[in-house]
Amino acid sequence: MPEPAPSGRPARHGDRPRLLGIGDNVVDRYPDLGLMFPGGNAVNVAVHARRAGADAAYWGVTGNDPAGALVRRALAAEDVDTGRVRTADGPNAWAEIGLVGGDRVFKGSDDGVSVFSLDEQELEALAGWDVVHTAYSGSLVAQVPRIAARTRVSFDFSHHWHEPWAAPLLPHLFLAVFSASQMDPDAADRLLGEAVRQGARWALATRGSAGAVLTDGGSWWRQPAVATAAVDTLGAGDAFTGTLLAALAAGGGPRQGLARAAEAAARACTAHGGFGHAAPLPAEGPGGPAEAVEPSRAAAGEGPRSQRPHGKDR
């Protein structure tokens, strides 16, 4: 494993909260469009927290291939610090995406070189952050208690709250995030109520076109989705989480943070990928990556768009 760079902690600017995304990064591959986009839960949340006004960084492992270079380049363009991003010899993680009426469909994936754990030096450096975000899709589940001993932790469970590792994490969390678009409202409320009873400071359920629900156990906030012309729902939930987390980490009121998060999620649906920065998708041949595939007309915005509300789901 290559050694991390020595920085990774951006200077504090005034009262901005400092948010760190740790864990998964991918390139989202769209064969039908001939394009790939940088993404991954921890990357997307860091980017959208930065767009919401937080100081942000990402820690993880990228490949030494064009996909890894795209992830690093996009983070730099978004002013997300990459001083502790590691570059390993091998392919970057990827996910293959299809689109059905604007909804993303995952068709396959590979972890590439992305699996890693935090060393002692990195764990100690976490104390300088206001909140750290990671997710089930990364490789750091076992280290969440040690991360939480040093700073506040946000964790995205997506649909995986029934896994045996899930409930033991809740007492360590500042924010527990769940994707609940397939649940009825009462079931989603019970899920959130149980999360805060088991120790989470905040619990968030995103429910797609039904909006989102946030609770601290004493109060409940219900945020309607914002209608938008959806092109691609990929990463919209991460946009919601990153924007809300920036507000909560700053000590702001949930109502304003939720409204801004819904707007960010809606904006994320109006273009392909998690947060833009498209690159041509290399064509795979017998000898490996070959010349780039020409992007399709749909990628240029020439395909049909449907009017639909959106809240969250990556």
Q: What is the pLDDT of residues 211-250, one digit of tens each?
A: 999 999 999 999 999 999 888 888 999 999 999 999 999 9
Q: In which band, very low, low, confident or very high, does the pLDDT at 11 lie, cut at 50, 70 and 90? A: low
Q: In which band, very low, low, confident or very high, does the pLDDT at 15 lie, cut at 50, 70 and 90? A: confident
Q: What is the pLDDT of residues 170-199, one digit of tens each?
A: 999 999 999 999 899 999 999 999 999 999
Q: In which band, very low, low, confident or very high, does the pLDDT at 153 lie, cut at 50, 70 and 90? A: very high
Evaluate if residue 31 carries a pLDDT over 80: yes
Q: Which pLDDT value is given to residue 263? A: 97
d(CA 54, CA 15): 9
CATH number of 18-310: 3.40.1190.20
d(CA 16, CA 175): 19
d(CA 46, CA 52): 10
Q: Is 140 left (phi over 0), alpha (psi -120 to 50) or beta?
A: alpha
Question: How much of the chain exceeds pLDDT 70, in percent?
Answer: 84
Angle between helices 254-268 and 236-249 (to 10 degrees): 150
Q: Which pLDDT value is given to residue 300? A: 31
Q: What are residue 202's DSSP bridge partners?
A: 175
- List the chain domain ranges: 18-310
Count other Cβ atoms within 10 Å, centred on residue 183: 17
Q: Which pLDDT value is given to residue 280? A: 97
Q: Tell me which range, 90-104, 263-277, 292-306, is most confidently predicted by mean pLDDT.
A: 263-277
d(CA 22, CA 144): 11
d(CA 255, CA 245): 12
d(CA 312, CA 204): 11
